[in-house]
Amino acid sequence: MHDDQVAEAFRAAMRLEKGFVLRDDMSFDHVPGWDSIGHMNLVLELEKRFATVLDMDQIVAMDSVGAVRDVVARKQAGKS
Amino acid sequence: MRIRILPYAAAYQEAVRAFTARLHAGVAGSPASLSSIRNLLLSAEDCRPGDEFLLAVDENQVVRGTYILRHQEFWIGDRVARAACYCLPVSEGIVDRAYTSLGVPLLLDALRRQPLLYGLGMGGYHERLPQLLAAAGWRMITVPFYLYIAHPDRFLHNIAYLRRSPLRARAFDLLAGSGLGWLGIKAFQALHRPRARSAPVGSETVGRFSEGIDELWETCKSRYALCAVRNRAVLDLLYPAANERFLRLEVRRGRRLIGWAVLLDTQLARHKYFGDMRLGSIADCLADPADAHTVVACARQVLEDAGADLIVSNQSHGAWRRALRDCGFLQGPSNFLLGTSRELTRVLRGDGRDMPLDQMHFNRGDGDGPINL
């Protein structure tokens, strides 16, 4: 569930093409549009979709698709 | 990677130097990043009293980013409130993709320190910073740019911004050589000659602004919906008497001070827009809006007398824009942007709509400072 939402957040933030496949080991160099502006869009998308606020360490830690999933999973686990 | 953002301290002097050296080395030969070079000159010495110079430092005490928070007080409607300009943010992300995300925490840190945040200048919508601010939901507006052509021939031969192809350069040379350019520009200016005033107006450049500045501020602030505080103490801070680069102009009607302006008179060399022209600039100014025309006319005259080929100004307020037009200035393409944070935009909102630009008094004096022009 979270994974799909994370992928959707990426797609919306980076305006990825439909066929683009995200893998956990992908970082800034591998995802089109993942620059500082894409990162800002991603933060806002995640905060909206998961009704949460990311702190500075979490924002900096999100340096790969897998790392984003980890941050979101930990945030969600902390909520429940 | 863990990043802390903390105020500059002397202990980080070497780390800041190493950071700027890495950026210089990283952007060398990269035209796309050349506009960032200006930011690379950032150091603690660029700060004015009251500024916060902030560093993004990693767990190894290596500096990975910097920005300046320039605090200013603003007259907003009926009160004075503190806001800050988000100045010259730069991160290692411009040379190392591993730090791509750093622009976001820098901005969020600034917003945490001062939610009433704005950015000014920024080089146009194609630059990264305004795109980042827009992505963060900031309101972005272009502050109009005006130019007065004092010496048409020098303008036509030097305006690099318009002479971008050999064909266009040749056309401008023809306009200059034939006299047609001179004729057209002077004809336009003749139609926009400053109006004669009934009461005698005088102006003088001063080494330091006089005490009457405070009274002027108190009487005219309520004529603006939004205006940076410009009393004598602030002017002394922004335009210190020791800095001879600033021409401080006071304008009087009879003995009464009715306005002031801060002017710059700079001989350029191979400037990317203005070539080798001598450039006059109206960087900052204040008067009752009804007297804006008089102040602009005096400023223009002082700069023309000093030998300026071209006089430029960025102004947002309607009265100052009208004053510039009425004094023969043309409106040109502007890359001077104003961005207001969500919170500042909300504070400025009235009657359910955003405050119109022509009610805000912004110019180059309110941002990074009149560094370039």
Find chain B residues with C-beta within 8 A of A34's C-beta. Answer: 100
Mean pLDDT across A44-70: 94
The alpha-carbon radius of gyration of chain B (Å, integer) is 22
CA angle A56-A59-A10, nearest 5°? 155
CB contact at 8 A, B142 and B336: yes
Interface membership of A15 toward B (CB under 8 Å): no
Q: Is the pLDDT of residue B161 over 50?
A: yes
By Cβ distance, the residue of B1, B104, B109 closest to A36 is B104
Q: What's the mean pLDDT when you consider all of chain B? A: 89
Q: How far apart are CA B321 and CA B318, in angstroms?
A: 5
Mutation to test the A interface, candidates B94, B95, B99, B100, most A Cβ within 10 Å? B100
Residue B43 has a pLDDT of 55
Check B93 against A36: CB less than 8 A apart. Answer: yes
DSSP of A13-60:
HHT--TTPPP-TT-BTTTSTT-SHHHHHHHHHHHHHHTT----HHHHH
Question: B18 to each of A70, B24, B26, B34, how far by Cα in Å?
Answer: 33, 10, 12, 19
Check A56 against B109: CB less than 8 A apart. Answer: yes
B79: tokens are 């009160």
Check B97 against A36: CB less than 8 A apart. Answer: no
Residue B293 has a pLDDT of 95
DSSP of B256-269:
EEEEEEEEEEEE-S
Please return the burial class of A32, using the count of CB atoms within 10 Å of its CB with bins 0-12, 13-18 and 19+: exposed
Check A28 against B137: CB less than 8 A apart. Answer: no
Pairing mode, strands B145-149 and B226-228: unpaired
Q: Is the pLDDT of residue B141 over 60?
A: yes
Summarize pLDDT for B277-303 with one digit per residue, the tens.
Answer: 999 999 999 999 999 999 999 999 999
Check A39 against B104: CB less than 8 A apart. Answer: yes
Nearest CA in chain B to A43: B104
Number of helices (H), then strands (E), belonging to chain B: the values are 12, 16
Return the SS3 of A79.
helix
Summarize pLDDT for A18-27 with one digit per residue, the tens.
Answer: 889 999 999 9
Q: Is the pLDDT of residue B100 over 50?
A: yes
Please return the burial class of B271, using the count of CB atoms within 10 Å of its CB with bins 0-12, 13-18 and 19+: middle
Q: How far apart are CA B194 and CA B328, in angstroms?
A: 8
- pLDDT band of residue B370 (cuts 50, 70, 90) is low
Nearest to residue B163, comparing CAs of B276, B258, B50, B249? B276
Residue B34 has a pLDDT of 42
Residue found under tokens 């300009």:
B85
Find chain B residues with C-beta within 8 A of A62's C-beta. Answer: 101
**Looking at CA atoms only, how far is residue A19 from chain B in angstroms?**
24
CA B200 centroid distance within chain: 31
B173: number of CA atoms within 13 Å, CB side?
8
DSSP of B147-169:
EEESSHHHHHHH-TTT--SHHHH
Residue B373 has a pLDDT of 58
Interface membership of A58 toward B (CB under 8 Å): no
Find chain A residues with C-beta within 8 A of B136's C-beta. Answer: 40, 44
Check A61 against B1: CB less than 8 A apart. Answer: yes
Summarize pLDDT for B171-201 with one digit per residue, the tens.
Answer: 888 888 888 888 888 888 887 776 666 567 8
Q: How far apart are CA B41 and CA B368, in angstroms?
A: 13
Question: A46 to each of A9, A51, B129, how far by Cα in Å?
Answer: 6, 8, 21
Check A59 against B104: CB less than 8 A apart. Answer: yes
CB contact at 8 A, B319 and B96: no
Find chain A residues with C-beta within 8 A of B104's C-beta. Answer: 36, 39-40, 43, 59
Q: How far apart are CA A42 and CA A63, in angstroms?
A: 12
Please return the burial class of A23, using the count of CB atoms within 10 Å of its CB with bins 0-12, 13-18 and 19+: exposed
Residue found under tokens 């955003």:
B354
Interface of B with A in 116-155 (CB under 8 A): 128, 131-132, 135-137
b/e per residue B143-162 (b: at least 16 CB within 10 A): bbbbbbbbbbbbbbbbbbeb
Residue B33 has a pLDDT of 43
B66: tokens are 């910097």
Residue B31 has a pLDDT of 43
Nearest to residue B285, comparing CAs of B197, B341, B203, B189? B203
- Work out the percent of chain B whose per-residue pLDDT is above 90: 66
